[in-house]
């Protein structure tokens, strides 16, 4: 705890002086006595004095003075506060394997349910965006605080072929850069101007949460995309979702081809994919993506585990240290102790 005006601490030297004056006054009172023929009667008539009642008021008074002197020094405490407005991008895998029913009713619906709970638990000022990815990635909901739009975007997701994890990371980066000018958009090709990497250990107040049940098989390699996120200080939290064995797959609609994964009306029907999908998660790559960017990797094989993973995601993404003056607390404590000392003193020596 620091102090803006530490020179006022010298006033604490008055406390022993006040205590000395108090005891001198107490000793002077003992000199003025009245003579009685028998002290036994006086002792029996007067109850024995309580040292606690006698010295507690002066002790509280001195403590109140100490607290008020500390208030004069204007003490400051270092607290952590959120560093600016943060954006959370949820990148959700909508590849065909998400139709697997090993996690009932299927992986996609279980992921949607967990994502919906996560959105609904956020404060009214938390800004979220939704990216869906299969063979390509699409921004199905730009970052917003409108939970109704977020819920609708998550509910309207449907599946497509292949898995482009790296592309999903870059699409999420571009959505973040639209809201945070300090984060440069993604780049493609060696001829593009590379942004200056942020200092090691520093991060933007924005994160990407990427959920997948497979391995990347198209688009930019995930670690290349993760390096771009790391250069911009954007952390990527990865989630591997699915069981070891997989199961027969059914999403309840037929495949629509290349689309936006949401917003349009899919053709409903019984689309069963024989043989099912195994849990072919590239955990090693997902762990490397998280480690490279300063995030964390999570594994979930049940719907309740996925809900717990979303619960564990950071609420305050990036914080900064800020000095806050706390002299008012010492002033309140001093005033309370002073009032208590006066009250106890009046109880012992009531005013006539």
Q: What is the DSSP string of 181-231?
A: TTSPPP--STTSPPPPPPPTT---S-EEEEEESS---SSS-HHHHHHHHHH
State the Cα–Cα distance between residues 157 and 150, nearest whole angstrom: 11
State the Cα–Cα distance between residues 51 and 14, nearest whole angstrom: 24
User: In the predicted model, what is the mean pLDDT of residues 270-279?
Assistant: 40
Report all structural domains of the chain as residue ranges with CATH numbers, in order of start.
1-25+49-80+327-352 (no CATH), 84-317 (3.40.50.410)
Asked if the model's pLDDT at residue 277 lies above 50, the reply is: no
Asked if the model's pLDDT at residue 268 lies above 60, the reply is: no
User: In the predicted model, what is the mean pLDDT of residues 244-268?
Assistant: 55
Query: What is the residue-averaged pLDDT of the chain?
Result: 82
User: In the predicted model, what is the mean pLDDT of residues 69-73?
Assistant: 88
Question: Which of 9-18, 31-40, 151-160 has the weakest average pLDDT?
Answer: 31-40
What does the chain come to in residues? 352
Using pLDDT thresholds of 50, 70 and 90, give the confidence band for residue 292.
Answer: very high
Residue in 96, 20, 87 with CA at minimum distance from that of residue 318: 87
pLDDT in tens, 9-34: 888 888 888 888 877 777 776 555 55
pLDDT in tens, 176-208: 999 888 899 999 876 567 788 999 888 888 999
- Residues with Cβ within 8 Å of 50's Cβ and at least 6 positions away in sequence, in order, are none
Using pLDDT thresholds of 50, 70 and 90, give the confidence band for residue 5.
Answer: confident
pLDDT in tens, 302-340: 999 999 999 988 765 555 556 778 888 889 998 998 888
State the Cα–Cα distance between residues 326 and 328, nearest whole angstrom: 5
Residue 48 vs residue 219, higher pLDDT: 219
Q: Are 53 and 348 in contact (CB under 8 A)?
A: yes
pLDDT of 11 reads: 83
State the Cα–Cα distance between residues 241 and 31, nearest whole angstrom: 87
State the Cα–Cα distance between residues 219 and 225, nearest whole angstrom: 10
Tokens 């995309």 sit on residue: 225
Residue in 19, 31, 30, 29 with CA at minimum distance from that of residue 57: 19
Residue in 139, 144, 192 with CA at minimum distance from that of residue 168: 139
Whether omega for the bond prior to residue 105 falls within 30 degrees of 0, making it cis, is yes
State the Cα–Cα distance between residues 73 and 93, nearest whole angstrom: 56
- Quote the Cα angle for 208-213-216, to 5°: 75
Phi-psi region of 129 (alpha: psi -120 to 50; beta: other; left: phi over 0): beta
pLDDT in tens, 46-67: 555 566 677 788 888 889 889 8
Task: Give the helix/strand (H/E) hosting 352.
Answer: none
Structure tokens at 309: 């993973």
- Residues with Cβ within 8 Å of 124's Cβ and at least 6 positions away in sequence, in order, are 145
pLDDT of 205 reads: 87
User: In the predicted model, what is the mean pLDDT of residues 145-170?
Assistant: 95
pLDDT of 266 reads: 42
pLDDT of 255 reads: 45
């Amino acid at each position: 705890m620091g102090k803006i005006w530490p020179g006022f601490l010298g006033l604490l030297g008055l406390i022993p002086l006040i205590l000395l004056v108090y005891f001198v006054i107490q000793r002077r009172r003992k000199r003025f006595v009245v003579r009685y023929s028998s002290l036994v009667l006086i002792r029996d008539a007067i109850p024995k004095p309580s040292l606690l009642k006698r010295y507690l008021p002066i002790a509280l008074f001195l403590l109140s003075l100490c607290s008020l002197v500390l208030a004069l020094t204007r003490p400051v405490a270092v607290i952590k506060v959120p560093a600016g407005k943060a954006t959370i991008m949820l990148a959700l895998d909508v590849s065909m394997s998400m139709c697997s029913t090993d996690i009932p009713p299927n992986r996609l619906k279980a992921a949607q349910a967990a994502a919906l709970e996560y959105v609904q638990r956020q404060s009214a000022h938390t800004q979220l965006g939704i990216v869906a990815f299969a063979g390509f990635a699409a921004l199905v909901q730009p970052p917003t605080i409108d939970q109704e739009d977020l819920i609708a975007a998550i509910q309207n997701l449907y599946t497509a072929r292949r898995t482009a994890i790296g592309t999903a990371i870059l699409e999420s980066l571009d959505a973040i850069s639209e809201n945070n000018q300090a984060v440069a958009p993604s780049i493609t090709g060696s001829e593009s101007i590379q942004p200056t990497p942020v200092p090691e250990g520093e991060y933007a107040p924005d994160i990407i949460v990427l959920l997948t049940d497979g391995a990347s098989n198209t688009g930019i390699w995930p670690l290349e995309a993760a390096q771009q996120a790391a250069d911009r200080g954007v952390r990527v939290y990865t989630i591997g979702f699915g069981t070891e064995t997989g199961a027969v797959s059914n999403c309840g609609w037929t495949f629509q081809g290349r689309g936006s994964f949401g917003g349009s009306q899919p053709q409903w029907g019984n689309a069963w994919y024989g043989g099912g999908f195994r849990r072919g998660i590239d955990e090693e790559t997902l762990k490397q993506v998280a480690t490279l960017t300063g995030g964390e990797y999570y594994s979930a094989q049940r719907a309740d585990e996925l809900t717990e993973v979303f619960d564990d995601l950071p609420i305050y993404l990036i914080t900064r240290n800020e000095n806050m003056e706390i002299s008012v607390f010492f002033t309140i404590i001093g005033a309370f102790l002073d009032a208590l000392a006066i009250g106890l003193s009046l109880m012992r020596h009531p005013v006539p």
